[in-house]
């Protein structure tokens, strides 16, 4: 493929077979990709709200690092706290994430091999030669928790 008319450089493109993929690479990539996706979601919320509230567009970011003028730091901290609470306290997001995570585990092993015990907060995987029991908190117990809501004004532990 020749991307530009004014140059002789060519690009070679390889189209991968979408029906075959490396399961080990997929497993290894899950957590880093999830974390990067959540970082990107929080960054989008912070930037959108920053520009809605502040006319001065002096805002710089690289990955999950931010820079703003000194007099806007407290505003940025508040926006970050709000973004994290929006993302991580939405029960629909948490329920969907839990459902997808459980489906992935079942697909990786087999529905006849995996069982979830929400009452004891465990996953039980019965393999041919051994049984694996892993701690797995019930997402409904997290959502239905009677723990008081976070007071954003007093929370220093979310960001430092």
Dump pLDDT digits (tens) for 61-91.
887 788 888 888 888 888 888 888 777 777 7
What pTM was computed for the model?
A: 0.53
User: CA 122, CA 1: separation in Å to the nearest integer?
Assistant: 52
Residue 31 lies in a domain: yes
Residue 50 lies in a domain: yes
User: CA 83, CA 119: separation in Å to the nearest integer?
Assistant: 31
Residue 114 lies in a domain: no
List of the chain residues with pLDDT < 50: 158-160
Give the pLDDT of residue 89: 74
Residue 77 lies in a domain: yes
Residue 74 lies in a domain: yes
User: CA separation (Å) from 149 to 30, 42, 85?
Assistant: 30, 20, 10
Containing structural domain, residue 26: 22-89
| Number of domains into which the chain is organized | 1
Give the pLDDT of residue 124: 93
**Residues 159, 45, 137: CA angle, nearest 5 degrees:** 60
Residue 60 lies in a domain: yes
Residue 156 lies in a domain: no
Instruction: Please classify residue 79 by burial: count the beta carbons closer than 10 Å to its beta carbon, then call 0-12 exposed, 13-18 middle and 19+ buried.
Output: buried
Residue 85 lies in a domain: yes
């Amino acid at each position: 493929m020749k991307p530009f008319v004014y140059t002789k450089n060519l690009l070679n493109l390889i189209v991968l077979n979408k029906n075959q993929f490396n399961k080990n690479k997929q497993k290894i990539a899950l957590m880093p990709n999830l974390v990067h996706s959540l970082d990107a979601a929080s960054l989008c919320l912070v930037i959108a709200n920053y520009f809605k509230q502040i006319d001065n567009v002096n805002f710089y970011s690289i990955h999950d690092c931010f820079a703003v003028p000194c007099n806007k730091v407290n505003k940025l901290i508040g926006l970050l706290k709000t973004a994290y609470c929006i993302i991580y306290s939405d029960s629909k997001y948490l329920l969907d994430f839990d459902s997808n995570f459980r489906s992935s585990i079942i697909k990786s092993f087999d529905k006849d091999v995996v069982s979830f015990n929400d009452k004891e907060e465990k996953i039980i995987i019965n393999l041919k030669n051994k049984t694996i029991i892993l701690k797995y908190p019930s997402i409904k117990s997290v959502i239905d928790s009677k723990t008081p809501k976070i007071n954003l004004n007093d929370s220093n532990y979310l960001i430092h």
